Amino acid sequence: MATDVKVPVLGESISEATIGEWLKQPGDAVKADEPIVSLETDKVAVEVPAPVAGVMGAHAAAVGDTVTVGAVIAVIEAGGGAAAAAPAPAAASAAAVEAKAAEPEASERTLSPAVRRVVLEKGLDPSAIKGTGKDGRLTKEDVLRAAEAKPAAAPEAEDAAPAPAAAAPAGERREERVRMTRLRQTVAKRLKEAQNTAAMLTTFNDVDMSAVMEARSKYKDLFEKKHGVRLGFMGFFVKAACQALKDVPAVNAAIEGDEIVYRDYVDVSVAVSAPTGLVVPVVRDAQTMSVAEIERTIGDFGRRAKDGTLKMEEMKGGTFTISNGGVFGSLMSTPIINPPQAAVLGLHRIEDRPVVRDGQVVVRPMMYLALSYDHRLIDGREAVTFLVALKNAIEDPTRLLIDL
């Protein structure tokens, strides 16, 4: 008896996806709820679990094919089958690794589906890898680093060694064509639509980071001990942005038809790095959260973005975006808004620069701020007022405590 594997419901307004990678091939033994295929949607990659245990049957779609919700993409045959009873050497090695990953010593740092897949592909022992994630859990980067450090296996026999590849002719120029992922195609389309639709403008300011850096240095150990998360800069900026958005509500608003929608809540979209590129999960009701709660939420998003386990509903909505290009070394940029949002705040790297304080030239750790906004909704006066309010809160964090 065979069981169909269907494309699951992928979220509101998402009706199709692209086959990104088959994790199980025909003839492979599969367990119930084990990931068998990765689907790429407009927002995130989704791993589809096996509905039953058995043997992987034929694939009904190939990598790169577009499939719709509810479509049958494969079948799982009943029983363990010959594949499970007499695995090939490579399959036996993978099974041994998977069994090792399930042993008690590895169960204290549970492997996510994305990490488990890389462990199996690289043939590594997860218990021998030091995890850098929360509570010592393994991340995908931990496994990839371990794979790079693993010495290459020696050939079984000298006469079995492959002939060396012919050297490329001198001066030869090569090209490689790689298909754009569905996520990258969607990002490109949305950003171009934003440029075509919004009357986009960017206003700049700079901020002295001395006070925040001093507070972070003074309290980081106590903060981490009490809250279980590192004290970063994003908590301060999200908190300060929420306060500034309350003072200048147009920056947190949106245009819908011929109406302006004003919100009394702030859902902050925060750009974080993932293996497939930047993703933008949402910190919901950020205006009600403490700095510690904001840092915990963003830290969790960052870890799960690397593991590929963010949920689609966590990236829906958002009323305002903060993008921190400074972590990559950016000095200044003009970020593009994410419709239907009306504004995005760009943060940049901190560097020592000479500034004048009380008539004296002194060196201070300065950061450029960039607010890109839809000029149809937000006037220059409102943009500057927002940036000044944000600057004041960061340069004097006490304002965040007494709501000034």
Of 132, 124, 206, 148, the closest CA to residue 388 belongs to 206
Which whole-number Å values give the CA distances from 135 to 97, 112, 113, 254, 272, in the listed order? 22, 14, 17, 40, 21
Of all residues in the chain, the percent with pLDDT exceeding 90 is 36
Please state, in angstroms and as integers, the Cα–Cα distance from residue 54 to each residue in 29, 160, 250, following that order: 6, 36, 56
Closest of 284, 294, 286 to residue 232, by C-alpha: 294
pLDDT digits (tens, 9 = 90+) for 122-148: 778 787 888 887 667 777 778 888 887
User: What confidence score (pLDDT) does residue 379 get?
Assistant: 93
Beta-bridged to residue 204, according to DSSP, are 370
Q: 339: burial class by Cβ within 10 Å (0-12, 13-18, 19+)?
A: middle
pLDDT score, position 63: 82
Q: What global pTM score does this model have?
A: 0.64
Residue 96: the pLDDT is 45
Q: Cβ distance 326 to 24 under 8 Å?
A: no
pLDDT at 149: 78
Residues of the chain with pLDDT under 50: 81-108, 154-158
Position 391 scores a pLDDT of 96
Residue 107 makes CB contacts below 8 A (sequence gap 6+) with: none
pLDDT of residue 168: 57
Task: Please state whether beta strands 277-279 and 351-357 pair in parallel, antiparallel, or not at all (unpaired).
Answer: unpaired
Distance between CA atoms of 176 and 48, rounded to whole angstroms?
30
pLDDT value at residue 350: 95
What local confidence, expressed as pLDDT, does residue 142 receive? 81
Angle made by CA atoms 359, 360, 363, in degrees to the nearest 5: 135
Strands of 54-59's sheet in order across = 2-6, 72-77, 54-59, 29-30
Please identify every residue annotated as catalytic.
375, 379
Q: Supply 160's token pair.
A: 């079995």
pLDDT digits (tens, 9 = 90+) for 39-93: 877 666 778 888 888 888 888 888 888 888 888 988 888 875 444 433 444 444 4
Burial, 361: exposed, middle or buried (Cβ in 10 Å; 0-12, 13-18, 19+)? Answer: exposed
Residues 6+ apart with CB under 8 A from 215: 397
